[in-house]
Amino acid sequence: MYFSLYFSSIFLNNFPEMCYNKFGSGRFEKSDLIKVKKVDFLEGLIHSIETFGTVDGPGTRYVVFVKGCPMRCQYCHNPDTWETVGATRMTPEQILDDYERYKEFYHGGGITVTGGEPLVQIDFLIELFELAKTRDIHTCLDTSGIMFRRNNPELLAKYDRLMKSTDLIMLDIKHIDPEEHKKLTAQPIDNILDFLSYLDEKEKTIWIRHVLVPGITLIPEYLERLGYYIGQFKHIKALDVLPYHSMGKTKYEQLGIDYVLKDVPEATKEQAIEARGIIIEAMKKRRHDMGE
């Protein structure tokens, strides 16, 4: 996932950022996604835990970063979460017991699972969120939606079950243009947009996140298309526009991965505000065209 020092949001104020990582990281291979499905789902493959998160959902939150992600977003500043090996294994009970140690800080907050891509470990996520709800903890899923498949009944049943214990979904839409999306993330957009439709059908509370990358997503035509597309969904309650920054560059050097965006300038707070305005106007236009 992607976080920023600055949030440009419809409904939310800007948040400062604090991060406290407890654990280390490892390497990823494509076959690891299959391996993840075979592990004991009472254990999650955890990259790190942030005990005082203020940018990953409402209030102050306990944020769990999981390992494993099939996306390869060029601006990802957590490439050390892509790979599953080297993960710390934790059960839902262990995570929530740790949460309880800090629970006095989480008034108005809760637990957020991000990554990496949390839905790679959907069985673990179900266990974790269901247990969290028995303890009356607010649950937030920060996802790219890339793992969603509507045509797999067994998997769809898992999503249906997970949604019952998920209070909020923060969905990242990386690029609205299918070709550009594939260039930016190495993955197609179809299932991500279908996941958005699914969430709206389920009447889930959705926050959309969009990273503004100069020359890639910071183009008025794409911002308008994004706004016009998401404007059709009734359950989007917030829009965060995050200016691209290159803070993750050092990790790429450490991991020996080429940083494709090395010549791309960072986006500014002012550009994020302007971009948010373009997206919101297009959302309004869509709603107007729908007769609302």
Name the minimum Å distance from CB 183 to ligand SF4.
13
Stretch touching ligand SF4 by CB under 6 A, among 9-17, 68-76, 105-113, 284-292: 68-76
Q: In this chain, which of 4, 54, 60, 78 binds ligand SF4, going by CB under 6 A?
A: 78
What is the arrangement of strands in the sheet containing 8-9, beginning at the earlier edge strand? 8-9, 236-243, 205-212, 168-172, 139-143, 110-114, 61-66, 44-53, 88-90
1 binds ligand SF4 per the rule CB under 6 A? yes
Q: In this chain, which of 84, 88, 112, 144 binds ligand SF4, going by CB under 6 A?
A: 144
- The H-or-E segment that residue 9 falls in is strand 8-9
- Give the three-class secondary structure for 243: strand
CA quadruple 145, 147, 153, 158: dihedral sign: negative
Name the minimum Å distance from CB 146 to ligand SF4.
7
Interacting positions 212-241 with ligand SF4 (CB under 6 A): none
Tokens (6 digits) for 284: 């309004």
Tokens (6 digits) for 45: 């493959």
Stretch touching ligand SF4 by CB under 6 A, among 40-48, 91-99, 109-117, 217-225: 109-117
117 binds ligand SF4 per the rule CB under 6 A? yes
Name the minimum Å distance from CB 79 to ligand SF4.
7
Q: Can you give 20-50 as a three-state secondary structure string? A: CCCCCCCCCCCCHHHHHHHCCCCCEEEEEEE
71 binds ligand SF4 per the rule CB under 6 A? yes
Name the minimum Å distance from CB 83 to ligand SF4.
11
List Cα–Cα distances, 102 to 106, 108, 110, 125, 131, in angstroms.
7, 13, 11, 21, 17
Name the minimum Å distance from CB 117 to ligand SF4.
5
Name the minimum Å distance from CB 141 to ligand SF4.
13
Q: How many residues bind ligand SF4 (CB under 6 A)?
A: 13
* 280 phi and psi angles, rounded to 5 deg: -65, -40
Q: Give me the amino acid identity at 157.
A: A
CA–CA gap between residue 108 and residue 248 (Å, rounded): 30
72 binds ligand SF4 per the rule CB under 6 A? yes
Stretch touching ligand SF4 by CB under 6 A, among 104-112, 114-122, 200-208, 265-273: 114-122
Whether residue 62 contacts residue 20, with contact meaning beta carbons closer than 8 Å, is answered with no
69 binds ligand SF4 per the rule CB under 6 A? yes
- Give the three-class secondary structure for 169: strand
116 binds ligand SF4 per the rule CB under 6 A? yes
Name the minimum Å distance from CB 291 to ligand SF4.
35
What is the rounded radius of gyration, in angstroms, for the C-alpha atoms of the chain?
A: 18
Q: Give me the amino acid identity at 67.
A: K
73 binds ligand SF4 per the rule CB under 6 A? yes
Question: Where on the chain is the footprint of ligand SF4 (CB under 6 A)?
Answer: 1-2, 69, 71-73, 76, 78, 81, 115-117, 144
